[in-house]
Structure 1
């Protein structure tokens, strides 16, 4: 159900007509924000939905993975981290259960086989990256480390974050705050300060039609499957993503895997800063670094999600789902249907956030991203 779209579109981008219909036609208002930058300049800033404006914050889940791995990319670029060093070189406890040869490159390509732990995690454990990291260090992998890959959906930030902490003495959340969020004034947080809670809007669950309910039931992970373990559905406390996103503890601690809180303005600005000059500051990533982190390092099928060529280094490869995107695009989707990405070839940074979970799946970007991103990129290409 589309409602009035508010906000602005910069001169020259009026041709992106598709962006004037942000929400899909759904039975219940989703609430959404759409922002795009072009060569460091904000050119689209729109929102729609009751109780929502351009400054509103909501839980953006795995979009936080993009923020966390931007920090990793910076540390690699500076020589602080070596992608081809064994993880155990930085984190000795990690070598348990046959993981001693796994490299950092393989870890952030989701090849560790550590998508979860025996017995699952509690909500409190998932919210605090130090706890999953400690438990996963001694966990036996589900497959031979480095030989296959699967989405470490709720734990990848804890794993890479522990490497960062061992090397720098700082958490990935602290480094993101100091090096990226604060300097650029980003409304994208890995740990939402309490004073910003009045701007936060709770995540809304999907209210499915009977047909959608059948689709959801049919797509539920089989007990004991890699997908069930990766999304923490196999223990006594199965994770409810709506409840997790609405937990003050999860927002406050800012899990680097699923605890991102922000809006489209903050997400798009982060990706703009990664590839473009923003406010006189040079791009955070050199072209060579951006290309390496966008490149597929493990071709084939994701053992958890079934997607093909799913990951670069830490970042997802949106071009696999949306083939009109360049192969050098890097970014990350978030539960509820959100998506953020940077396209170095066109200079476009894009972000779309939803407040309500999209039908029928809670994971990956919602389908309207195809129309919205295509509208923005088409105008950018013409310019």
Structure 2
């Protein structure tokens, strides 16, 4: 078998998705290793994989796709009446009020409008492994812009704030609640804290490949480590964070920090969104329609100080309607730096998950558009 041979299944009517996935993985010549999974109205219709060291149940680092899993916990607690996203964070965590942060709400944090995207001097990789350590450092930090005045993505730290609020309100960690209420009941291959007995299924993230001249040209235009973009991506520490190495560290996977420390598969990501919005295996959806509507609603549009003009956010989730115009306006989900993508489209009944093992050197993943479009075409045609 060549490393690019596609394995797995597609339901009748989804053969073109297999063809598109085969084309994508052939272009990578098996170097990335990738998985693709999709559900339509709770029925799995795509389950594919290809490439070096990858099987259908392989687990790998999903980076900020973790934020989607963490947001489901917040949505459940809002649904329960245990959390109010419009209360100031400092109401539950008084130390957070320091340095002008007393009015920042959980909604500000979830929509990336808090201005709290890192700390002066940066956070080391060891500190970024642990949400409690991140939260302690953020408590004294002054925001990098006036809260509410702009949007900017806190790639590695935003959900440490969310997690600290969850812990103080419920007495339990966000990771514990995710395990009990989301992952375990549906046996999902998405983990905020990978158990040691599943380590043999984990495959390391790899660095991106590029022509040396192309790579040099890219880095010549990358903002500095102490710019807004550098701070948002955790590059202002000494040494700067090595994102490739981050989830290849056992401690990071074991703790499962809620912004970027999750581990999963395409099956797990797609099933998670299917369980949340449409229901799986005869179970009712995790979220009620009104809660889905609130969390899927556009909150921050028109550009992002950290990531650029294409940053569009719902509440905790990325807004996928602006990202993929063929989806419905209220499609929502989250991608990740190493190339993971995941979302739900409530109108069209789609839940989508994709993973790959290799970073793109410039954080660009054009196959997302191709694969999401292929799944959408097949789902709407059938």
Q: CA deviation at 1:374?
A: 0.7
Cα pair distance change 1:284/1:307, threshold 3 Å: farther
**RMSD of aligned C-alpha atoms?**
1.6
| 2:344 counterpart residue number | 342
| 1:380 counterpart residue number | 379
Secondary structure of 2:335 counterpart? strand
Q: CA deviation at 1:10?
A: 1.2
The Cα offsets for residues 241-273 of structure 1, whole Å up to 9 and x where unpaired, read as 111010011001001111010110101000000
Could you tell me how far apart the structure 1 residues matched to 2:172 and 2:309 are? 33
Does residue 266 of the first structure (1) align with residue 265 of the second (2)?
A: no
| 2:287 counterpart residue number | 285
TM-score normalised according to structure 2 size? 0.96
| 2:235 counterpart residue number | 233
Q: Equivalent of 2:130, from 118, 128, 133?
A: 128
| 2:249 counterpart residue number | 247
Could you tell me how far apart the structure 2 residues matched to 1:223 and 1:98 are? 24
Q: Equivalent of 2:154, from 152, 155, 167?
A: 152
| 1:82 counterpart residue number | 84
Cα pair distance change 1:35/1:22, threshold 3 Å: farther
Q: Equivalent of 1:108, from 101, 110, 120?
A: 110
Stretch moving more, 278-287 or 170-179: 278-287
| 1:4 counterpart residue number | 5
Q: Which runs of 5+ in 2 are unaligned?
A: none
Secondary structure of 1:374 counterpart? helix
Q: Equivalent of 1:213, from 209, 212, 215?
A: 215
Secondary structure of 1:333 counterpart? coil
Could you tell me how far apart the structure 2 residues matched to 1:320 and 1:23 are? 26
| 1:200 counterpart residue number | 202
Could you tell me how far apart the structure 1 residues matched to 2:193 and 2:287 are? 23
| 1:62 counterpart residue number | 64
Could you tell me how far apart the structure 1 residues matched to 2:157 and 2:62 are? 16
Q: CA deviation at 1:214?
A: 3.0
Q: CA deviation at 1:28?
A: 6.5
Secondary structure of 2:353 counterpart? strand
Does residue 34 of the first structure (1) align with residue 36 of the second (2)?
A: yes
TM-score normalised according to structure 1 size? 0.95
Q: CA deviation at 1:216?
A: 2.8
Could you tell me how far apart the structure 2 residues matched to 1:50 and 1:8 are? 19
The Cα offsets for residues 284-309 of structure 1, whole Å up to 9 and x where unpaired, read as 11222112212121332211011345
Q: CA deviation at 1:27?
A: 6.5
Secondary structure of 1:246 counterpart? coil
Cα pair distance change 1:24/1:212, threshold 3 Å: farther
Could you tell me how far apart the structure 1 residues matched to 2:30 and 2:55 are? 18
Could you tell me how far apart the structure 2 residues matched to 1:215 and 1:311 are? 30
Q: CA deviation at 1:35?
A: 0.2
| 1:53 counterpart residue number | 55
CA contact (8 A) 1:22 1:33 kept: no
Could you tell me how far apart the structure 2 residues matched to 1:24 and 1:115 are? 38
Could you tell me how far apart the structure 1 residues matched to 2:309 and 2:237 are? 25
Q: Equivalent of 1:166, from 136, 155, 168?
A: 168
Could you tell me how far apart the structure 2 residues matched to 1:321 and 1:159 are? 26
Stretch moving more, 309-318 or 272-281: 309-318
Could you tell me how far apart the structure 1 residues matched to 2:136 and 2:265 are? 31
CA contact (8 A) 1:302 1:309 kept: yes
Stretch moving more, 185-194 or 205-214: 205-214
CA contact (8 A) 2:59 2:203 kept: yes
Q: CA deviation at 1:319?
A: 2.6
Aligned residues: 380
Cα pair distance change 1:171/1:219, threshold 3 Å: farther
Q: Which runs of 5+ in 1 are unaligned?
A: none
Cα pair distance change 1:71/1:219, threshold 3 Å: farther
Cα pair distance change 1:212/1:184, threshold 3 Å: farther
CA contact (8 A) 2:37 2:354 kept: yes
